[in-house]
Amino acid sequence: MLALRDHYLEKLSGNEGALGMGTSAINDSSDPDSWAIKFIDVLWVRPILEAFDDDASGFITITEANMFTSSRPVEWG
C-alpha cells in the first residue's frame, strides 16, 4: 500500500524526487483523485486490504482488484 502511495505522490508532483515532499504535492494538485492520497497510509492499510481481499488470504489478486474497482457507484465516474 505504501508503494502505491509513493507512486501516486510521484505522479502528482510530476517528478521522481517527490517522496520527501509529504502532502505538499497533494495540496497543489489539480488531479480530481488527489484527495485519496491522504487515506493511503499506515493508518488505513488494514481497512483497505480488507476491502480488496474478499477471501482473506492476505494476497490481493487481479480479479479481486478488478471486482473492487468495478463495484464503485456509477456516479463516481
Q: Is residue 15 part of a domain?
A: no
Q: What pLDDT is stored for residue 63 in this prediction?
A: 93
Q: Looking at residue 29, what is its pLDDT? A: 66
Residue 35 has a pLDDT of: 84
pLDDT at 58: 87
Is 28 contained in some domain?
A: no
Q: Which residue has the cell 507512486?
A: 7
Name the 3-class secondary structure at 20: helix
Residue 71 structural domain: 34-77
Question: Which pLDDT belongs to residue 4?
Answer: 79
Domain count, the chain: 1
Q: What cell numbers appear for 13 in the block?
A: 508532483
Regions of the chain with pLDDT less than 70: 15-29, 77
Which are the contacts of 6, defined by CB distance < 8 A and separation ≥ 6?
19
Cell numbers given for 4: 502505491
Task: Report the distance separating Cα 44 and Cα 49, nearest Å.
Answer: 9
